[in-house]
Amino acid sequence: MEILEPLSGDAFAPETTYLNTSGCGLLPRRAVDAIARLAAENAAGTREGAGGFDALAAARASFARLVGVGADRVALGSSVSVHVALIAHSLPAGAEVLAPEGEFSSVVQPFAVRGDLKMRYVPLESLAEEVRPGTALVAFSSVQSVDGRVADLAAVRAAAAAHGARTLLDASQSAGWLPLDAGAYDYTVTAGFKFLTCPRGTSFLTVTEEAQEGLAALHSGWFAAEDLSDNYGPVRALAGTARRYDEPASFLSYHAAAESLAGLEAVGVDAVHAHDLALAGRLRAGLAELGHGVVAPDSAIVAVPGLGGKQPELLRAGVYASERGGNLRFAVHLYNSSRDVDRALEVLAG
């Protein structure tokens, strides 16, 4: 079989067979260097303030280009659940939220904890057909964390539009390898520390202009002001863009994120998509030869039911994968090669 080299050249420096991007992506060298530079400046007192707003702007703009929206539609944060909580707060009591069964907790818990919303969970495969006139919001992941299943995105969007429901898409397990038009959803939320190869503590919220009208800037501080020098007392005016939903940023994380996202842009999501699916296909074929079936046929996440107990054995051999819901879960990305896939198969074969 053809050897597939990493798309990233020497931009990354893995010392293991790392097939666990769905758990945490690797940081590129340029991101690590950015953290080291800023930390050194903070230690030496050679910088005014803890970090640069130019890095925040660069990260916002890069992410916007990667997902096909304007930078004015992107808010920066620290975690998906904080973004989702904003949306959960905006719903009236009694509103119905439709979500897949077994959806990742960060997507559904902020709604469930309210106690006065109607939560309805259905199989992922029937999500579109379960949207009904009383559905206020469909909250779902483009790619399921537990097993890599890819949602029928077009069908869910069409069903939501037909019934007047808003859509909330979690792209944490897809942004960076699966092409995304974030503007096709009322809201998207994305953790930066997986396929976007950013540090933990970076996350992105996109909001359409129409959806912004009903979304309160519940945790707004001075970062959310139209004028960033307006930072004593209540701010005179919130930013007119999605920046009004910004959390105060971790500068160390976002200085690195600006570099990570620029590197991903340089490679291109379409190229990463083709590379990752080719590697995942090689892995599925090898698993089939070993007698193991997988859950999703069209994903960069390859989950093997009932094989989760093999994760410690792989780890001892220097192969990083994860166990989720009894599945042995692999995730390939731009820094992986066919040699990584073949090494994992070799260990599984004993």
Please give the pLDDT value at position 65: 98
- Rounded mean pLDDT of 13-23? 98
Residues 6+ apart with CB under 8 A from 268: none
pLDDT tens across 215-236, in order? 999 999 999 999 999 989 999 9
In angstroms, the CA 147 to CA 301 distance is 7
Q: What is the CATH number of domain 17-27+268-348?
A: 3.90.1150.10
Rounded mean pLDDT of 268-297?
97
pLDDT tens for each residue of 84-141:
999 999 999 999 999 999 999 999 999 999 999 999 999 999 999 999 999 999 999 9
d(CA 6, CA 244) in angstroms, rounded, equals 38
pLDDT at 182: 98
Q: Is the pLDDT of residue 213 over 90?
A: yes
List pLDDT tens digits, range 288-317.
999 999 999 999 999 999 999 999 999 999
Asked if pLDDT for residue 263 goes beyond 70, the answer is: yes
Question: Do 184 and 142 meet the contact criterion of CB atoms below 8 Å apart?
Answer: no
- Residue 309, SS3? helix
Longest dimension (CA), the chain: 66
Q: Which fold has domain 43-266?
A: Aspartate Aminotransferase; domain 2 (3.40.640)
Across the range 244-251, mean pLDDT stands at: 95
Average pLDDT over the chain, rounded to an integer = 97
pTM above 0.75, yes or no: yes
What pLDDT sits at residue 251? 97
SS3 238: strand
Q: Do domains 17-27+268-348 and 43-266 have the same CATH topology?
A: no
Domain extents in the chain: 17-27+268-348, 43-266
196-212 burial, b if ≥16 CB within 10 A, otherwise e? bbbbebbbbbbbbeebb
> What is the spatial distance between Cα 286 and Cα 129, in angstroms, rounded to a whole number?
35
Tens of pLDDT, residue by residue over 162-190, are: 999 999 999 999 999 999 999 999 999 99
Least confident of 41-50, 72-81, 88-97: 41-50
Rounded (5°) CA angle 20-21-24:
95
2 pLDDT tier (thresholds 50, 70, 90) = confident
Task: Tell how far CA 143 is from the center of its chain.
Answer: 10
What whole-number distance in Å separates Cα of residue 176 and Cα of residue 272? 8
Look at residue 131 in the predicted model and tell me its pLDDT.
98
Neighbours of 41 (CB within 10 A): 16
Task: Assess contact for 272 and 175: CB atoms under 8 A.
Answer: no
Sequence-distant (6+) residues with CB within 8 A of 138 are 97, 98, 99, 127, 131, 156, 159, 160, 165, 166, 167, 168
Instruction: Please provide the DSSP assignment of 46-59 as one string.
Output: -SSSSS-HHHHHHH
CA distance 157 to 152: 9
Q: How far apart are CA 196 and CA 63, in angstroms?
A: 9
At residue 204, does pLDDT exceed 90? yes
CA triple 134-125-140, angle to 5 deg: 60
pLDDT at 1: 62
**Measured in whole angstroms, how far is the alpha carbon of residue 248 from the centre of its chain?**
19
The predicted structure's pLDDT at residue 3: 82
